[in-house]
Amino acid sequence: MANLKLDRVGKTYAGGVSAVENASFEIADGEFIVLVGPSGCGKSTMLRMIAGLEEITDGDVQIGDRSVNGVEPGDRNIAMVFQNYALYPHMTVRGNMAYGLRNQGMPKPEVEARIAEAARFLQLEPYLDRKPSALSGGQRQRVAMGRAIVREPSVFLFDEPLSNLDAKLRTQLRAELKDLHKRLGATFIYVTHDQIEAMSLADRIVIMSAGRIEQIGTPMELYANPASTFVAEFIGAPPMNVLPVTGEAARAFLAQEARVPDDLGHVGIRPELMSIGDNGIPATITLVEPLGAETLVHLKMGADKLIMRSGHGLALDAGAEIKVAVEAGALRFFDRDGRTRSA
């Protein structure tokens, strides 16, 4: 009932800034979609166009098979959660949640019932009569979620809702969000610049760069088969090693590969698909970062630098000479424009 369709959507701001260009994708009912990309790439603009807060200048947005261009945000059956919470500061938690429902003319008992349920689910019951200024950041964001939930919209929109919170709370609320999605079964569209959030939350990720969609796919698709060097370097921490074919490292990797496409620009390899072997490509360790469960090993191959992920208990120090072995099929190939080429 709430599938969503964007058809060649574009946004050019009054000053001539083109924030989003030619964006097309479809979202199935109940999907959890994450829009991810570096700051300024147009994620918020995209979300706000879906919400109806921003007029679209090109294309068509459909919610539930209905074109909603020109439909007011309040009539789109959506709810939105903002990074800075955007709670009404002069209303209590209860008032904040009730406001939208009262504006719809919902009878009071039903408003109360919905608030009670949302408050129970979000553990906000003790705070219902407080003002937002008397709540912590995490509690405020819960209230904002509550305000969205009580409306029972078919699409939830989130714009970096966790970015103002500390790391621990972020992890906790991330889990709660995922749980919320499962329980409500509604469509979620979630904007973040944090690829870890994107990977852990999304059914499918839409990754954007400079106003354009780079790739759409499940987190593992994006991770395993990035469509471009941009995606390869954005997803994963540490990111994929992307090496120019003219460098020594790339030539050494390619020498081991049976089938190599022509017209290559770059070669990519994930840090965990390399290991220290008895034979392989010679490299020098420049830095060892033990992180507990794993160790990040910074390597130098000729003039190229790359990072390898290794298990714990690595007994080597910077300066050691090692041999690097590569798993079969680990290499990814990109042309000179950074687009994927298959072998």
Partner 1 sequence: MVENRPLAAILTHVVLIAGIVFLCFPVWVALVASTHPGEALQRSPIPMWFGDQGFANYSQLLREGVPAAGGVPLSTMMLNSLFMALGITVGKIAISLISAFAIVYFRFPFRMLFFWLIFATLMLPVEVRILPTYDVVASLGMLNSYPGLIIPLIASATATFLFRQFFMTIPDELVEAARIDRAGPLRFFWDILLPLSRTNIAALFIILFIYGWNQYLWPFLITTDQDLYTVVMGIQRMVNVGEGVPIWNYTMGTAILAMIPPVLVVLVMQRLFVKGLVESEK
Ligand X SMILES: Nc1ncnc2c1ncn2[C@@H]1O[C@H](COP(=O)(O)OP(=O)(O)O)[C@@H](O)[C@H]1O
Q: Which of these segments, 81-89, 164-172, 280-288, 306-314, binds partner 1 (CB under 8 A)?
A: 81-89
Residue 111 beta carbon to partner 1: minimum distance, rounded to whole angstroms: 13
Of the two residues 103 and 279, which places its CB atom closer to partner 1 in the complex?
103
CA-to-CA distance for 141 and 163, rounded, in angstroms? Answer: 11
CA-to-CA distance for 136 and 244, rounded, in angstroms? Answer: 48
CA distances from 55 to 39, 43, 49, 51, 60 (A): 21, 15, 6, 10, 11
The residue within the footprint of partner 1, chosen from 30, 82, 163, 316 (CB under 8 A), is: 82
Residue 33: both structure tokens together: 């979609």
Of the two residues 212 and 309, which places its CB atom closer to ligand X in the complex?
212
CB atoms within 10 A of CB 293: 7
Helix pair 167-184, 137-149: axis angle to 10 deg: 10
Of the two residues 13 and 88, which places its CB atom closer to ligand X in the complex?
13
Residue 26 beta carbon to ligand X: minimum distance, rounded to whole angstroms: 21
Residue 161 beta carbon to partner 1: minimum distance, rounded to whole angstroms: 12
CA-to-CA distance for 37 and 191, rounded, in angstroms? Answer: 9
Residues 99-128 that bind partner 1 (CB under 8 A): 99-100, 103-104
Residue entry with tokens 């991770």: 223
CA-to-CA distance for 178 and 164, rounded, in angstroms? Answer: 19
The residue within the footprint of partner 1, chosen from 79, 245, 249, 273 (CB under 8 A), is: 79
The residue within the footprint of partner 1, chosen from 8, 88, 125, 224 (CB under 8 A), is: 88
Q: 222-252 in b/e burial notation, b at 16+ Cβ within 10 A?
A: bbeebbbbbbbbbbbebbbbbbbbebebbbb
Of the two residues 48 and 332, which places its CB atom closer to partner 1 in the complex?
48
Of the two residues 48 and 266, which places its CB atom closer to ligand X in the complex?
48
Binding site for ligand X (CB under 6 A): 13, 15, 17, 19, 37, 39-45
Binding site for Mg ion (CB under 5 A): 44
Size of the site for partner 1 (CB under 8 A): 25
Residue 132, C-beta contacts closer than 8 angstroms, at least 6 positions apart: 85, 87, 88, 89, 91, 93, 96, 140, 143
Q: 163-194 in b/e burial notation, b at 16+ Cβ within 10 A?
A: ebbeeebbeebbebbeebbeebebbbbbbbbb
Of the two residues 132 and 268, which places its CB atom closer to partner 1 in the complex?
132
Residue 43 beta carbon to Mg ion: minimum distance, rounded to whole angstroms: 5
Residue 100 beta carbon to partner 1: minimum distance, rounded to whole angstroms: 3
Q: Return phi, psi of residue 95, to 5°.
A: -60, -40
Residue 277 is which amino acid?
Answer: G
Query: Should residue 295 be labelled a site residue for partner 1 when binding is judged by CB under 8 A?
Result: no
Provide the 3-class DSSP secondary structure of residue 4.
Answer: strand
Q: x/- contact string, 41-70, with partner 1 (CB under 8 A)?
A: -------x--x-x-----------------
| Binds 90: which of partner 1, ligand X, Mg ion, none (CB < 5-8 Å by kind) | partner 1
The residue within the footprint of partner 1, chosen from 55, 65, 67, 89 (CB under 8 A), is: 89
Of the two residues 44 and 229, which places its CB atom closer to Mg ion in the complex?
44
242: left (phi over 0), alpha (psi -120 to 50) or beta: beta
Residue 233 is which amino acid?
Answer: E
CA-to-CA distance for 68 and 57, rounded, in angstroms? Answer: 13
Residue 159 beta carbon to ligand X: minimum distance, rounded to whole angstroms: 7
| Binds 266: which of ligand X, partner 1, Mg ion, none (CB < 5-8 Å by kind) | none
- The residue number with the shortest CB distance to ligand X is 44
Binding site for partner 1 (CB under 8 A): 48, 51, 53, 72-75, 78-80, 82-84, 86-90, 99-100, 103-104, 131, 133, 147
